Structure 1
């Protein structure tokens, strides 16, 4: 199977290189990396070209999440399109091969992997990641939950079912719901783990959840979120997060962040929802209900190595001479320099 990496980006220079180094470190190297850039004004495109990315531009005024994915998939030459956010990075060198392994079953249309937060993420978002992405894999998955920050789809399926370009978010769930209804299978692959970095303002948190709630209304015509839901879930979330923080000995430090995050999350959700009925209980639980502790489920031992990003960043620091040398071409049509012999979101 040929594998194409598709990355959507806008001004992602802060974390983008770390992702590209993580791809370079994979045992199974991607066959190509496509950067769908919506008008970055920082060094995002330059970094991408330096690592062999093929750049596909999209006018930021025409941008939607679905349209960017459709452009990336249309440009891809692989059998599998792997989607990663530009502000994530894989934890292990077997991430890519683990993520795409379920496609050995011809019935599988989509796989997605586990996510966790980094040092910059808010405390409550760590609880959300723990809720949404448990430590054990699920196949086949019964509901249509997934997340395109760390996911892969079969291109042949996409050709028959392109992404909805009108949605304000959650285009991944809409696509998964559609193909699942056609009889395809979804796989959650917990061992394909990435770190997903969010360092958002409170307004950004609120807007993200408002956007996703608007999209959920379009995906599920029965969706609703009332003032009662807002108040009840705010109390539940704050209490649950507070208990987690107390157990970790960080309650005093994190209390303000917990209250602000959950307030803005749920206010954004309330502002975005406007439906006559409810979403499915299982999806509603994954989106809005507090984290419950998970028990570890062991799996067969696999030799895997954590990626040493400090070493990779030091080794890839360009010298002054290297920065001054002209490059042949702009990198848009070149084979990706990420391919390595050994065995690399």
Structure 2
């Protein structure tokens, strides 16, 4: 369902595709949509993939339909299946993900000034309500190997999704998996800017669902995609993790 008239977009300025995947999110979705609608920057393509909500989520989506470029409501195989569906309909230049309950700060007009190279993946900061502090900062390879950048803070060149999809094997860490693959892809570089992009509610799906497939495979993924010294670091940390979680490595 497409509704946005792109003739209203600023010429010669990039279009940011903001993706929100939701399911039974009536309590939180509206504040997220309002934060997007109220952006000073207007070249926004808003895409919503709903997993077949049975509460009032669809009523909220329909209420904001004139601001939405594309939305669909249908069953999916989980959050990353929904994210893959969304990337298939993206027509913008850059891709950002926000969840229901997240509040996108009015900074896209500042962020867009940084988006100069579509062979770079740009990331800023988020404010996490669950820990009451700004999270992210600059990621070294060592930090990258063990901690996921909040996807609310990342702007991916849209062309990334012509080559990559989220691996459905990983039910809550597929974004971290993809980011490690991209770290090892010589076609892309990561660049940090110190701008808080989003207020992240915290306690989302990945926070409450341990992804043991990713935990078991992470060292192999790091070895194949990151410098050897980072692999050694990750390997040592993983030995400690295994000792603390023997029941999962029988």
Bin for the TM-score computed over the shorter chain: 0.7 to 0.9
Q: How many residues in Structure 1 have an aligned counterpart in Structure 2?
A: 213
- Equivalent-residue separation in structure 2 for 1:84 and 1:163 (angstroms): 16
Match 1:103 to one of 115, 128, 131: 115
Higher relative contact order at CA 8 Å, sep ≥6: structure 1 or structure 2?
1
Q: Which has the higher strand share?
A: 2
Change in Cα spacing, 1:206 to 1:50, as seen in structure 2 (3 Å) is closer
- Equivalent-residue separation in structure 1 for 2:217 and 2:31 (angstroms): 35
Q: Which moved more, 1:158-167 or 1:186-195?
A: 186-195
- Equivalent-residue separation in structure 1 for 2:56 and 2:45 (angstroms): 20
Is the 8 Å Cα contact of residues 23 and 50 (structure 2) preserved in structure 1? Answer: yes
TM-score, structure 1 as length reference = 0.54
Shift of 1:78: 0.8
Whose radius of gyration is greater, 1 or 2?
1
Is the 8 Å Cα contact of residues 119 and 157 (structure 2) preserved in structure 1? Answer: no
Alpha-carbon RMSD across the aligned residues, in angstroms, is 3.0
Is the 8 Å Cα contact of residues 166 and 174 (structure 2) preserved in structure 1? Answer: yes
Cα deviation 1:103-148 (Å, max 9, x = unaligned): 312330x233322233xx3xxx34xx55x424xxx4x854544222
The 5-angstrom pairing of residues 24-173 of structure 1 reads 24-52=37-65, 53=68, 54-60=70-76, 62-63=77-78, 65-91=79-105, 93-94=106-107, 96-108=108-120, 110-118=121-129, 121=130, 125-126=131-132, 130=134, 132-134=135-137, 138=138, 142=141, 144=144, 145-173=148-176
- Equivalent-residue separation in structure 2 for 1:271 and 1:194 (angstroms): 37
Partner SS, residue 104 of structure 1: coil
Q: Which moved more, 1:213-222 or 1:34-43?
A: 213-222
Q: Which residue of 1 aligns with 2:193?
A: 189
Change in Cα spacing, 1:85 to 1:188, as seen in structure 2 (3 Å) is farther
Unaligned runs of 5+ in 2: 1-13, 221-234
